Structure 1
């Protein structure tokens, strides 16, 4: 076959703008970071519900649906933690490119690892939300007893106890669930997020 008859497949593929026009929304990555028990998943679920009720298509990615699926071969070594976030970011990029609002709720403890995620997804599509709930409050909540085990040395390299958590340098939004109610937090999120994902009146 002559080369002039070979065309790049991308010439035939729909573009991101086509999918966003179909959904009438902009793809965006909402990256919740914070200590275990800070309220990341609770906020993510509440925000997803709020977006859904306003006709926004979104998808939550968290430890339960990632660690049991595409990352089920990874452990908790430093290298595996980095690979865990890298894969999450790559999957998120695909969702965002489809015009889907993607919500991630992961500890992602270092600025370097969060920067990696932002670089993969694209800084213009990446919104970092720091759930700054203090360690003592997170420990009080400790539903799974993880902090107690970490204090006893039964869990190694546990973020906040035996492994550091680096406070985000320039988060797009900071929420402290020890001083702000769930309703207040969701209202703040809604006010901040909606202008980024909708180009029409809800």
Structure 2
């Protein structure tokens, strides 16, 4: 899989912690999504607005290596009772000289009947392929931080991620340290995490 394809997969997992074997694997589906405990009595309306990605963790180290996002944020807005809009503007290093490439993704999110914290995300690649991802908000205080589990299958390979989100580009380091411990307890080791650069955004 090319690095561009991997970025496409991860870009719609931006939405997009109860088990410790969240690994990318061949010939798999998103079988772990139902095992992840979502936020109890999750409020979609309280979660709306802008979130900034702080760190994205992959289940396997080789899945995290190509990740080089900059200035990654998402904005959630409701369109009706069952589907609401996601817009993500991303810039990431691609060339040796550090040139940024703007990338805007708009996805449709369907809310699960089981829990409003469980979403089915649909997006389209530039070549017209339809991609689907599972997303579960596992913990949040709504006003400062959130932890989100994401899963997608691409080319018979399952990608699973855990992401730390914040309402500000540069959250309190002490809060981040606690969230990093939580992510590790979900089975995503610190070595598999990639910081999102928010300098000069």
TM-score (norm 1): 0.30
Comparing both structures, which one devotes a greater share of its residues to helix?
Answer: 1
Whichever of the two has the greater Rg, that structure is: 1
Higher strand share: 2
| TM-score, structure 2 as length reference | 0.30
